[in-house]
């Protein structure tokens, strides 16, 4: 095991997944389109992905969604599990730029980068991956799954954009300030 993927990441995956599962049924329904809602757990996943990297983000998305579905509803809607992992991986890719755990997530630049990434990631996941899998696996009508995908996309970019950004900025304020150190002359 190399230094990049250490014990902290293993634990973050585990406890992060647990947190994601617990937040599964904390939802704010937005519209009448069935089975889509604002999911605060997405913001938490975005936070953990930004803090711990793509593998942690991907596993929390995949495992958290599958376990959450299984534990709360007794079944797994597989075509919506994988897009979740896509979002986690994509946000995690820029982990070093955010430096969340060193208190680096406070400039306008990181906030913009985070939000651009999350919008692109959500677009790929919910407007492309999820509907295509729905059609492949469940042979559901295209216009229905694309409508659902579009609402899931909107819901997720809103909740990650507001709550996710606030969580990251808030945590960076209280996290260690190692990035404030400067070399003496």
Residues in contact with another protein by CB under 8 A are: 1, 5-19, 21-23, 25-26, 28, 30, 33-35, 38, 40, 43-44, 47, 51, 59, 63-64, 67, 70-76, 78, 137-144, 147, 159, 162-163, 166-167, 170-171, 174
What's the min distance (Å) between Cβ of 17 and another protein? 4
Nearest distance in Å: CB 183, another protein: 28
Q: In sequence order, which residues have a C-beta less than 8 Å from that of residue 45 and are 6 or more positions away?
A: 16, 20, 57, 60, 61, 64, 84, 87, 88
d(CA 155, CA 107): 25
Q: In the complex, what is the shortest distance from the CB of residue 138 to another protein, in angstroms, rounded to a whole number?
A: 6
User: How far does the chain reach from its first CA to its final CA, in angstroms?
Assistant: 38
d(CA 56, CA 45): 9
Reported as type and span, the H/E element at residue 105 is none
Residues 48 and 57: their CA atoms lie apart, in Å, by 6
Nearer to another protein, 106 or 184 (CB): 106
State in angstroms the smallest separation of the CB of 11 from another protein. Answer: 4
């Amino acid at each position: 095991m190399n230094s990049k993927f250490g014990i902290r990441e293993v634990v973050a995956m585990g406890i992060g997944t647990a947190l994601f599962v617990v937040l599964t049924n904390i939802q704010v329904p937005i519209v009448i389109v069935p089975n889509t809602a604002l999911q605060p757990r997405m913001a938490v996943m975005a936070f953990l992905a930004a803090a711990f990297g793509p593998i942690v983000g991907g596993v929390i998305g995949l495992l958290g969604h599958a376990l959450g579905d299984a534990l709360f509803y007794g079944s797994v809607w597989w075509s919506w599990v994988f897009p979740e992992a896509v979002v986690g991986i994509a946000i995690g890719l820029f982990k070093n730029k955010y430096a969340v755990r060193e208190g680096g997530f406070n400039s306008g630049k990181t906030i913009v980068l985070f939000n651009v990434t999350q919008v692109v990631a959500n677009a790929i996941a919910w407007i492309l991956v999820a509907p295509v899998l729905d059609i492949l696996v469940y042979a559901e009508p295209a216009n229905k799954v694309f409508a659902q995908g579009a609402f899931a996309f909107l819901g997720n970019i809103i909740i990650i954009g507001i709550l996710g950004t606030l969580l990251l900025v808030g945590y960076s304020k209280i996290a260690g300030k190692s990035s404030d150190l400067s070399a003496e002359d």
